[in-house]
Amino acid sequence: MDTRHSSRPLRTLGAALAAAALLLSGCSADAPAPRAAALSKKAVPAALKPYYEQTLSWRLCGGADFECATLKAPLDYTRPGTGRDVRLAVSRKKATGPGRRLGSLLVNPGGPGGSAVGYLQSFAAVGYPTRVRAHYDMVAMDPRGVAESEPVTCLSDKQMDAFTQTDQTPDGRGETDRLVAAYKKFADGCASRSGRILGHVSTVEAARDMDVLRAALGDRKLHYVGASYGTFLGATYADLYPHRVGRLVLDGALDPTLSSRRINRDQTAGFETAFTAFAKDCVRRTGCPLGTGSVATARDRLGAFFARLDSHPVGTGGPRALGESLATMGVISAMYDETAWPQLRTALRSAMSGHGGGLLNLADLYYERDTDGSYANLMYANPAVNCLDLPPAFRTPAEVRKSVPAFEKASPVFGKALAWAALNCAYWPVRPTGTPHPLRAKGADPIVVVGTTRDPATPYPWARGLASQLSSATLLTYDGDGHTAYGRGSGCIDNAINTYLLTGRPPAAHTRCH
């Protein structure tokens, strides 16, 4: 499941080919880690005490006032103390004052696969409100397999370029076989390059790492803000350790009871909702590349444009052409944040005139491809986590073909591509260790779940679902567009969350913001 924050951290569980190769591994599957609240009241097992009692060695890093350290955790929590450990990157910026320090505030931007350390150092440590930063040490940890924490790798950059250009809307057996071959090559690459870590990047293991970090920081309880996939990580922590929950904000929530197929289909509908909002705005404007008629006409124009690119890609001013797959991801990329709509209008106008560079840039932004041609680790960590957390959405191409009509009903524009994107976990080299199940966190302090009504990547019903499961949750609703709500311009949302973080008082039930 790809779930990015407003900076673009959660994407789609199978948002498209590479996102599929990401979302929401050769190692043998281990027994699932213990699932729930029983862990919270037990004393720390003797074999885990060295991890819980470790002292972090801080050093200056990442610019003014940042510190970094390395946290050690067992590679396999069912076999701690064997010397097989993972080293996890941690960063913090101490509370600025004045006033009483409230503890550490751990942040995670989503993904799975988004770098929390990078997010902290580039945004959270300055973008969070001054009054929050005054009272909290801002802290981030890259989860296992992500960014600086033993990152999963799968392909060379050139191989990744080829992968992202694979036709994700196969029309016949030949194209289907090539798509399946691409998924298998991706999975085999992950196994050969990252076999040691691949079977140990589940969300449960990452949540257990968070508790080790809490102890190493000297905090009695965990305070946390998680966006997108980060909500699943935070809710998993709460279910494992309810009595260690402090103030938890879960923004752009996932519903943990849903299957992979349902998640993919819901996200497909979410992107259609976002496209409808974009199209309504576009057709009112002079020069809209999708015309000045109705939303239906705009949808038809975009679909016809994608169909042309399927057989006749356009140039981009560089060695890569813009075909249907990359164009689809370029459009989806702009659905995460309405501030990207002007860029999308310009990119579509140029691409429809035969110049695809702008739309390619949007696709590269989604895939986290740098201008030097290198890819960030997110595209590898994402499927590594998602394929371990849940059974695959589809197991065969035949299953996908049967489901394409349902996906196209959810989104006539994106449905076929996103259905085929959900096939990636069928070929994953590590069997899943998790299944859909409710998260209760019985006994936890108040938790705030935030949902945005027209969120494309984490549809609003998911927030309702998670809030109804967590025993102490309050649902805070943002009636708006884009992915996630906190820090996106709603004073109502920001004030409610800031008050909760500073006082522990959640917003009133049924609070709805605009």
Active-site residue flag, 374: no
466 Cβ contact partners less than 8 Å away, ≥ 6 residues apart: 231, 235, 250, 253, 254, 255, 256, 439, 449, 473
User: With the C-alpha atoms ordered 452, 128, 137, 501, is the resulting torsion angle positive or negative?
Assistant: negative
3-state secondary structure at position 176: helix
Please identify which of the residues 211, 337, 389, 455 carries the catalytic annotation: 455
Residue with tokens 């065969």: 396
62 Cβ contact partners less than 8 Å away, ≥ 6 residues apart: 68, 91, 117, 121
The rounded distance, in Å, linking the Cα atoms of 201 and 383 is 10
Active-site residue flag, 228: yes
Exposure string of 327-346, with b = 16+ CB inside 10 Å and e = fewer, is: bbbbbbbbbbbbebbebbbe
Q: Are 475 and 464 in contact (CB under 8 A)?
A: yes
Supply the DSSP symbol for 507: P
Active-site residue flag, 455: yes
Per the document, the length of the chain is 514
The rounded distance, in Å, linking the Cα atoms of 233 and 221 is 16
Q: Which of 209, 217, 215 is nearest to 67 (CA)?
A: 217
Angle at 106 between CA 511 and CA 8, to 5 degrees: 70
Please identify which of the residues 228, 260, 325, 411 carries the catalytic annotation: 228
CA distances from 440 to 169, 296, 367 (A): 39, 42, 34
The rounded distance, in Å, linking the Cα atoms of 213 and 90 is 9
End-to-end CA distance of the chain: 27
SS (H, E, C) 390-455: CCCCCCCHHHHHHHHHHHHHHCCCCHHHHHHHCCHHHHCCCCCCCCCCCCCCCCCCCEEEEEEEEC
Q: Are 15 and 265 in contact (CB under 8 A)?
A: no
Q: Which of 506, 453, 498, 447 is nearest to 477 (CA)?
A: 453
Measured in whole angstroms, the distance separating CA 175 from the mean position of its chain's CA atoms is 29
Residues carrying an active site annotation:
228, 455, 483
